[in-house]
Structure 1
């Protein structure tokens, strides 16, 4: 019997899902949504997809398109007045075939794993630089925000080096990228949109000027080719999506190691264990939690035929807690058997920079594992509001005296 998807019985769990950001709190919410059915109605008329198999089917199915320019023209008049939404719809994230193939091809040329033999050593070296800077700040000040010191600067620095970008203000680009990324948030307040629009304009101006200055080089850098508009779209995607989601992953890795010192000790003795640890972090706390798609034709999903134009939200976090795919799904267990993760998407929109982000997470886990015995949380972490992006916005850490300073005193006279 086909499930009833429009009976309105699941509105309370939907509201809780919109407001809950903590992973442990989401465990109950995901169970409630799954109990409500594989397709859960929302007050705004779309459906939440909760099961792993159905989520994967939407992500890989050709019937399911992005919420791009064509859909917005029909359903969101005036959207072209928002620079951040326009930039988002020009990116590979919000385009569909055949235009998507061209945009993806350029991104693949820039960050495909086979073209990046320097990836692992660059990620390891940059991660160690950020961690040493964190060590110095802890010695000077006693506390530090790991997000500001490590998780946000690392992805921008790695990307700039891999692309051979000239010297740029990476701190400003990174900050603008985080504000711009909120254009893809499911729930957007007017203030959020204004910040995203200002950030998109700043990113466009700065990256556009960078491209213009270097297009005349012989040969031009590969990030300048083939056309200025294409190059700008690619850099906006890499900074506005790649840097932001990698920062989110790094924050989750940092917090998970602090909360699981036994795993840190194991990574210290077996660096290969860092790969399994990162995979479990990706399952437990995916950098982005929602992917929105619209049916371009009638489509069967979870035993129900959905009409053309029906919008669905793929809940990656719920898919990763599906007990039919992951045993004891609410337990954080890096030793679990591998399962099919959807954190980097699937199908035509699978993240071309997945290897870049994952390499940084593994490098951070290995470098941080040696420091975990000397670190502690200095206060409760703070997350951005979701439901799509709920990454750590503030992760205060402090030394665990005397482990962090074996000589007994920190620089600056702190005991």
Structure 2
């Protein structure tokens, strides 16, 4: 199969559900392959890492988007996200990221350990209640979504009663991150963007009237003190991205990771007995089945990579999920091995756009998996999990489980958590 046919297969429903065989078809052509004129696909770890760090490769910002998609401003979803740090290059990206970075320092994240542990225990209690007498529960709805959304909403100051709204808004809006976008997908994304933008506009107004100790207030005050530091559109766009990205990837990490662990009973048993192993387990889960499978970059100047010449204006499709299984970097890459040396997967990216909330996502998973396994020793799949038909953000729509009887104790002592990110 040639590279262009493999890319087409990857974008198909079959390819999106299980992209890993197609990654290997692409890898057979080399770590960097030209699948179409000035369109390169990267499956190699070293090559993807280098491009992500190379200042000649940037995201699709306004100037580039104007040339490729003149009508993009007609889409509320695209126009909104384009004002955020996710879709801007330095120096604008650097300026916006610096304003939000204070909420995600290692010290602040570590301080959230007790909060995450308490929320995880509350959600496990709910699963036990709903799953008594063997009734199946949906892990995605009952745990994987509410845990990270509760944490990021608390950081942003979103009232607890409003948090259920964000699951659909995020699902709608993140459709624009897919490599192939239909008119119907765009309409759904625009609907979600409109509703979320309206909600956040009201939240910003509320924080102006009554400031609070949260990230929304900090960003509002940065905007109001100096509009050159953060414009009104940038304020709303970055709140949208922080909220959606703050739980969407972690939700997928929790769902993907649980399926892996339930299929690896010996590994699960070791983590149940040794919660301190959680950081290594989470790193390997991120590598083995990444919640973010790809990203793209556009070159501003000519470059060479793995023997391939990339002229200025080249698109690169960086397949992070494939890079995380590059056998040159990871021996026996298709084997789940939490005892392998710390491997630094590219699941959160690299370089200037490295995920701002990576430490928070790791903390939540490091808390969640040991507590689930210890408090629910009989946790098991209750049917076939249903994957979302998406490639960029890989995860499950539904993950039915039975919880079994509760353990005699509540796991690790209250207020503790395994490791720090």
Q: CA–CA distance in 2 between the matches of 1:303 and 1:86?
A: 37
Partner of 2:306: 302
**281-290 or 370-379: bigger deviation:** 370-379
Q: Secondary structure of the equivalent of 1:337? A: coil
Partner of 2:221: 225
Q: CA–CA distance in 2 between the matches of 1:53 and 1:109?
A: 30
Q: Is the 8 A contact 1:375 1:404 kept in 2?
A: no
Misfit runs of 4+, over 4 Å: 20-23, 403-406
- Do residues 283 (structure 1) and 287 (structure 2) align? yes
TM-score between both structures, scaled by the size of structure 2: 0.88
Partner of 1:126: 119
Partner of 2:372: 368
Q: Is the 8 A contact 1:261 1:373 kept in 2?
A: no
TM-score between both structures, scaled by the size of structure 1: 0.89
Distance change >3 Å, CA 218–CA 33, structure 1 → 2? closer
| 1:141 Cα deviation from its structure 2 partner | 7.4
Q: Secondary structure of the equivalent of 1:288? A: coil
Q: Secondary structure of the equivalent of 2:191? A: helix
- Do residues 55 (structure 1) and 48 (structure 2) align? yes
**88-97 or 218-227: bigger deviation:** 218-227
Distance change >3 Å, CA 44–CA 142, structure 1 → 2? farther
Distance change >3 Å, CA 335–CA 342, structure 1 → 2? same
Q: Secondary structure of the equivalent of 2:298? A: strand
**267-276 or 325-334: bigger deviation:** 267-276
Q: CA–CA distance in 2 between the matches of 1:46 and 1:54?
A: 15
Q: CA–CA distance in 2 between the matches of 1:126 and 1:234?
A: 26
Q: CA–CA distance in 2 between the matches of 1:13 and 1:245?
A: 26
Q: CA–CA distance in 2 between the matches of 1:218 and 1:313?
A: 42
Q: CA–CA distance in 1 between the matches of 2:277 and 2:29?
A: 37
Q: Secondary structure of the equivalent of 1:294? A: strand
Name the count of aligned residue pairs: 396
Distance change >3 Å, CA 142–CA 223, structure 1 → 2? farther
| 1:357 Cα deviation from its structure 2 partner | 0.8
Structure 1: state its 5+ residue gaps.
Answer: 1-7, 407-415
Q: Is the 8 A contact 1:112 1:353 kept in 2?
A: no
Q: CA–CA distance in 1 between the matches of 2:379 and 2:389?
A: 26
Q: Secondary structure of the equivalent of 2:321? A: helix
Q: Secondary structure of the equivalent of 2:181? A: coil
Partner of 1:412: none
Distance change >3 Å, CA 399–CA 98, structure 1 → 2? closer
Q: CA–CA distance in 1 between the matches of 2:45 and 2:288?
A: 14
Deviations 1:266-290 (A, max 9, x none): 1222111111111111001111111
**143-152 or 40-49: bigger deviation:** 40-49
| 1:226 Cα deviation from its structure 2 partner | 1.2
**13-22 or 255-264: bigger deviation:** 13-22
| 1:223 Cα deviation from its structure 2 partner | 4.4
Matches within 5 A, 1:25-104: 25-42=18-35, 46-104=39-97
Deviations 1:9-46 (A, max 9, x none): 323322332234688x5443222211112223335862
Q: Secondary structure of the equivalent of 2:28? A: helix
| 1:107 Cα deviation from its structure 2 partner | 1.9
Structure 2: state its 5+ residue gaps.
Answer: 224-231, 409-421
Q: CA–CA distance in 2 between the matches of 1:56 and 1:340?
A: 11
1:311 maps to which of 310, 315, 327: 315
Q: Is the 8 A contact 1:118 1:162 kept in 2?
A: no
